[in-house]
Structure 1
Amino acid sequence: MEHIAFMGLGHMGAPMARRLLTAGHSLTVWNRTPAKADPLVDLGAALATDPAGAVRQADVVITMLADPAALDTVADAVVPALRPGTRWIEMSTVGPDAVRKLAERLGRAVVLVDAPVTGSTDKAAAGELGILAGGDTDGVEHILGRLGRITRTGPLGSGSALKLVLNAAVIGGVALVAEALRLADSLGVDGTTARTALAGSPIGGAVARAFADGVHFDTALAVKDLALATETARLPALEAALDHYRQAAADPALAYADISAAAARIRLA
C-alpha cells in the first residue's frame, strides 16, 4: 500500500487518519499540536516533527486543515520536500481560489485533487463521509473510498466550490432556524411545539442540525466558511448569518463549540 502523510488531526482529521491506519496503510502524521497525534501513534502511525518531514517519503499527502492561511503555511514547508509523482489530496474547506493557488505552486510534478467532505465527526469515524472530488482522482479513489462515498464534481476546484455552496446553505439554515424560534418565543408560541412544527417543514434538516448531539463543527469554522462564501458573491442573507456567527464566536466559550451552541445564542440574542 501507498505510504500516506496525513496533516491536520482536528475533530475531522483524526478519525479520518484512524480509518486509513486501521485499513493497513502506512501513515505518517503531523499536527500543529503534537499531542493530538498520540492515539494514532499508539496504533502504529509515525509522528513527524514538521510538515516537510511528514511528506519526504510519502506517495500520497492528505491535508485536513482549518483554513486557507493554515494551508498556505503548510504548503510553504511541504512543497520543496515533495517527491515528483506524489499525489496531494486537499480535503480542507478552503474554497476554490486556495486550491487553484496551491495547484500553481505544485506545477505538474505533483497531482492535486481537491476533495472536501460533507458530514461531521460521526460520519468521519464510520467512513461514511460524502467526498466532493474535483480534478484527477485516478490512483487515489481507493483511498478516498475508505473515507466515504465519492462524488465526482468536475475539474480541479469544483469540489471546493460545491463544498462552500453546501456549507453556506446548512450554516445559514441553522441561523434561520434560531431566528424562527426567537420569533416563536416573541409571539408566545410554545418552543417545543414550534420546534416540532419546523422539523416537519421543508427546513427540517436545518432544525435537526441546530439541535444535533454527538457531532462537532466549530462556530469559528462556520465564520470562516461563510466569510469565504460572502467574499465570492453578494449574499445579503448569508452576510446577516455571518454576523450572527461572528458575534457568537467572539465569546471564547462558543468559538470552538458546535454550531448548535451558536444557534442557542442566536435564538436568545
Structure 2
Amino acid sequence: MKLLTYRIKHSGEDYRVGVLLDDMIYSVEGLKKYISDPLCKESLTGHPADFYRKLAHALPALEAALCSANPLDGISKENVEYGPVVTAPSKIICVGVNYMDHVKEMGHDVPKLPVLFSKFSNALIGHLDDIMGKEKSHQLDYEVELACVIGKTCMEVKESEALDYILGYTIANDISARDLQKRTSQWLQGKTLDRSTPIGPYIVTSDEILDPGQLKIRSFVNGECRQDSSTSQLIFNIPTLIAFISNLMTLEPGDIILTGTPHGVGFAKKPPQLLHSGDEVICEISGIGKLVNKVK
C-alpha cells in the first residue's frame, strides 16, 4: 500500500492523508465508510499530524477498505499537490557516512558506530516542491537516501525484531548546505534549512518491501546520473540502525530515519558539481519510485 499527503491543486486547503491505487488517490476519511469496526474507524484520521500515531492496529482495515472503494471516490494524482509524507514527525534522525564508497570520497574514517545527526520538520517538503536554500548557501548538494518511517513505539528493540517496527519506506533527498555544514564540527546548520529536504512521493508499506537491504538507489541532476548504488552497500543496515537508535531514545510512530547516501555527491566531485537555481533533481529507489524537485 502507498500512503501519501496531498491537497487539491491551487485549493489552498490543508493537507490530508490518502492512499494511492492505480494512479488514483483515495482519502483516508473517504475510505472510513467501508470500515465496520468502530475502533478502527475512530483510530483513522485524515489529519497528517495524527494519522501515523494512530495507524498501527487499523492498517489492515484500511487496506481492506481500499479494496472495496468505488473508483469514483478517487482523485487523479495529476490533480494534487504533494506534501511531505509525514508533515510533523517528532524526530527526524539522519545517519551520516553510511556507505563505504561515500566514506572514501568524503575522506572520512570508517565509523565504528552509526554517525547520527538530526533535521527538523521545517526542512521537509513534498514531491514536486521547490528546494529552497540558495539564498543562504552557495554550496547546496544532493543526497539520495532510503528513509524508514516508524509504525509503532520502538524502545530497546533487538536487531532480529527491528523490521517489525517499520511502517514503510520512502525516498529522501538530504539536501546539504556544504559551506554551512563545514563551518563547525557539528553538521546541523547545513542540514535543516527551511524547505530544503524533499521526502516522498509516498510511503510504501513494509509488506511490499521484503528486503530493504537489496534496493537500487540512484540520483540524477538535469538527467545526468550522479549516484548509482544499492542499499546492500550500507555499512550499518536498517535492523542495526533501528536497534542502535532505539537503545538511545524511544522512537514513535511517524518518526523518520534517513539511512545515509551512497557515493557520487556533488561536493566530492573534481571539480565540485553543486546545485544551481533551476536544476532538477530526481531521486529514485527501486520498489518505491521517483522523487522529483527543482532548486529555486
Report the TM-score when normalising by structure 2: 0.26
Higher relative contact order (CA 8 A, sep 6+): 2
Instruction: Judging by fraction of residues, say which structure has more helix.
Output: 1
Instruction: Judging by fraction of residues, say which structure has more strand.
Output: 2
